[in-house]
Amino acid sequence: MSLTHAVLSNKDNASGQLSAGINNSVTSVPLLSGNGANFPQPYSGTATSGGTGTTLNCTGISATIGGSGQAGKIIWNKTDNSIAMITAVGTNALTTTRLIKGDGSAGTWNNGDTWCIDAFVATFAVVSTSTYGVQTITQYEEALIVGRSTDTLTVASGGRGYNGTTANTFSTNDYVYLFVTAPFGEGLKAVLSVVAQQVDTNVTNIATNTTNVTNLQTGTYHYVTTSGSANAYVAATPALGAYAAGNLVVFNANFTNTGSATLNLNSLGAKTIKKLDGATNLVSGDIVSGQVVVVRYDGTNFQMLSPVANVPAVKVSMLYSSSADSNSVSGTSETDINTNVAIAGNDMAAGSVYRFEAFLLPKNINGTLRVYLGSTLLLTLTVTENGNSATRISKLDCMVTCRSTGGSGSVAASAIISGYDGTNPNVTNACTNTTVTVDTTASQTYKISYQGTSGAGSFLARNVAITKMTT
């Protein structure tokens, strides 16, 4: 990238007015008292002897620029249009990053080079105000400012009429602004160019950095194959000299664990491997030989981020199944459907699911279906005949999940009734949900009841199945 512009400074809402008129060649610009503080504080000077690509020699430079507070700023070598970043300030010299020329090549701080810090472009402007208070700039000029002493701005040699503008004459009280100009944007590009160019040219370091990048890309720094036995995994990884919270390790296990396990990296000490909650130890088979395991150190233990190999199987137990029809229900009284299933005390475990499936046959009847666990009502659903005189079949699918156990345990229930009205599929009840408190330590009866809204017609359930699913 060619650096065609200075690295310029900027400041929000910077503006002022002239305290005296100036002609088109003046390089000392007076502002009204107090206006100078609105603008950046540039510094400039000349190298007093030859330096290097990273050393600028200038007698008294620390006092000139106000000491070490300038470290970290960009410095512009105006002589050859090169830039660098200040890294240290000495009494008579600055240390910088490598000086980069406008063509991207390395530069040198030579004797007599002119340097600038925080230079900025000021816009001198004549402003007229219309009858209605609208302000218009009728004449302007840009100037490169390389110094400021209280309320007096110093223009660089040849800095009047900067950026292609025309040097003009301005009067007392005409305005001075600091706009974000095109050179400011180009200066930002120059800064990015410097950052891109600040690469150590030492061949050994380049080789090392290349190796480091390769190791990061391939995972070499944190992927290891363990040794060890008897639930004590051992490994060595080149990137780890001490344990620290956040350390990530990926290891290929050389044996299957049979209980609580540890990992010892680089002989730094065995640390317990915990499950994802950070508190529970592994159980037998959570890690199997040949498994790639991801762990992260939390400051005390390694937490296993990858899934355990010992995935619990889902067990399904059939509690009730019948292809026969249930009892036939009619009338407006609530009547149990004879598919009740007793659930023994403490049979429900957190996470266990009970599923009730049945085909419903309402004929010339509308009504209410209720699901109970013991005397506790879980769900109330509506069953409708949809106005047809013939029997229509609907499907009930009800799920009851144990959330917590104990005398004040809780269960969550959800159900859906879907069917066919003789013409189109329909859903009578969609995803009805409720959560209730149940004593899971006591025996409970899982039952269904029906209550019609009129005396005519009948209702029964067919192909009923009640299952329990646990892990």
DSSP string of 32-54, one letter each residue = -TTGGGGS---EEEE-SB---SS
User: What DSSP string runs through 266-323?
Assistant: TTS-EEEEE-TTSSPBP-TTSS-TT-EEEEEE-SSSEEE-SPPS-PPPPEEEEEEEES
Residues 325, 358: Cα–Cα separation, whole Å: 10
For 319, the token pair is 């509690």
CATH number at residue 394: 2.60.120.760
Residues 181 and 230 in one domain: no
From residue 37, how far is each of 63, 123, 145 by CA, in Å? 20, 16, 14
Secondary structure of residue 348 in the 3-state scheme: coil
Alpha-carbon distance of 137 to 286, in angstroms, equals 76
What are the structure tokens assigned to 111, written together?
A: 């004797």
Q: What residues contact 56, with CB distance under 8 A and at least 6 apart?
A: 47, 75, 93, 94, 96, 109, 113, 115
> Phi then psi for 390, rounded to 5 degrees?
-85, 165
Can you list the positions of beta strands (E) in 113-202? 114-117, 120-129, 135-149, 152-160, 175-177
| Residue 289 to residue 301: CA distance in whole angstroms | 21
pLDDT of residue 194: 52
Residue that finishes a domain, picked among 275, 304, 333: 304
Q: Are residues 181 and 42 in the same domain?
A: yes
**Are residue 385 and residue 432 in the same domain, yes or no?**
yes
Q: Please classify residue 398 by burial: count the beta carbons closer than 10 Å to its beta carbon, then call 0-12 exposed, 13-18 middle and 19+ buried.
A: buried
Q: Looking at residue 3, what is its pLDDT?
A: 40
Rounded distance, CA 114 to CA 6, Å? 13
Question: Do 187 and 267 reside in the same domain of the chain?
Answer: no
Phi/psi at 157 (5° precision): -60, 125
- Domain-located, residue 211: no
Closest CA to 3 of 186, 195, 199, 197: 186
pLDDT in the model for residue 458: 80
Domain termination residue (choose one: 191, 214, 231):
191
Q: Are residues 375 and 415 in the same domain?
A: yes
**What token pair was written down for 146?**
């390389």
Q: Would you give the distance in Å from CA 223 to the centre of its chain? A: 25
Q: What is the distance between the alpha carbons of residues 74 and 184, in angstroms, rounded to a whole number?
A: 13
The encoded tokens of residue 47 equal 């190298």
Residue 98 belongs to a domain: yes
The pLDDT, as a whole number, for residue 99 is 87
Residue reference for tokens 């007093």: 48
Q: Are residues 293 and 341 in the same domain?
A: no
Cβ contacts of residue 177 below 8 Å, gap of 6+?
A: 14, 15, 122, 123, 125
- The backbone torsions φ and ψ at residue 68, rounded to the nearest 5 degrees and listed phi first, read -75, -5
* Cα–Cα distance measured from residue 232 to residue 267, given in angstroms and rounded to the nearest whole number: 12
CA R_g for the chain: 41
Residue 204: inside a domain, yes or no?
no
Whether pTM exceeds 0.75:
no
Q: What angle do CA 275, 277, 278 make, to 5 degrees?
A: 70
What are the tens digits of pLDDT across the range 296-319? 999 999 999 988 887 666 788 888
Q: Which of the residues in the chain have pLDDT under 70?
A: 1-7, 102-104, 180-221, 238-239, 311-313, 385-392, 420-432, 454-456, 471
The answer to whether residues 246 and 121 belong to one domain is no
Residues 292 and 322 in one domain: no
pLDDT confidence of residue 166:
95
| 215 falls within a domain | no
Considering its fold, how many domains does the chain have in total?
Answer: 3
| One domain, residues 278 and 357 | no
Say how far apart CA 325 and CA 242 lie, in whole Å: 71
The answer to whether position 296 is within a domain reads yes
Instruction: Say if residue 251 is in the same domain as residue 339.
Output: no
Tell me, yes or no, whether 73 and 182 share the same domain: yes
pLDDT score recorded for residue 366: 77
5 domain residue, yes or no: no
Structure tokens that stand for 180 in this block: 């974000």
- Does residue 92 belong to any structural domain of this protein? yes
CA distance 145 to 118: 9
The boundaries of the domain holding residue 394 are 315-470
Same domain, 187 and 279: no
- Alpha-carbon distance of 158 to 146, in angstroms, equals 11
Distance set, CA 3 to CA 80, 108, 112, 323 (Å): 10, 16, 21, 86
Tens digit of each residue's pLDDT (9 = 90 or more) over 57-67: 999 999 999 88
Residue 1 lies in a domain: no
Cα–Cα distance for residue pair 125/118, rounded to 1 Å = 22
Which of residues 304, 323, 349 is at a domain's end? 304
